[in-house]
Structure 1
Amino acid sequence: MERLWRTVKYEEVYLRAYSDGWEAEISLSRFLWRYCHVRPHSSLGSKTPNEVYNQIEPCPSRPRLTMSGARSVQ
């Protein structure tokens, strides 16, 4: 997590002069979208975090839970 924040600060925040909070929010949203969906990461085998996340199959030994904690119907 600390590495992510370092990257956000050094590659986005410190390079921009935001005029207001809305501009900062939009710019940071764009940066984080690119970071997760476009930018390959060497620690993930040159895949994006989104590619790795979507490759993960659910564990069959653990029941699926809904937000309320009740088991979902499969």
Structure 2
Amino acid sequence: MKKERRKFSAGFKAKVAIEAIKEQQTIQELAVKYELHPTQINTWKREFLANAEQVFAGEKKEEKDDSKEKELYSKIGELQIQVDFLKKVLGK
């Protein structure tokens, strides 16, 4: 009988990675505590540290996209007014 792979949530992975970063317990102790392989904990820790900058970069990017979206909708409105005006002038 084949054993099914365990799937971990992002929250659980972050929790384990943060505990590993704090270094209050060894990786081996964390592995026993959470029933994981030490290599898995080190992998999650490495990924967490590598992607930590995205937490702060994401906020600024959303604001920039939002302002760009407003600008484009404004331009669409202006062009629609011009089209309506030209239709009236040409009698269509």
Q: TM-score, normalised by structure 1?
A: 0.30
Bigger Rg, structure 1 or 2: 2
Higher helix share: 2
In the superposition, the TM-score normalised over structure 2's length comes to 0.25
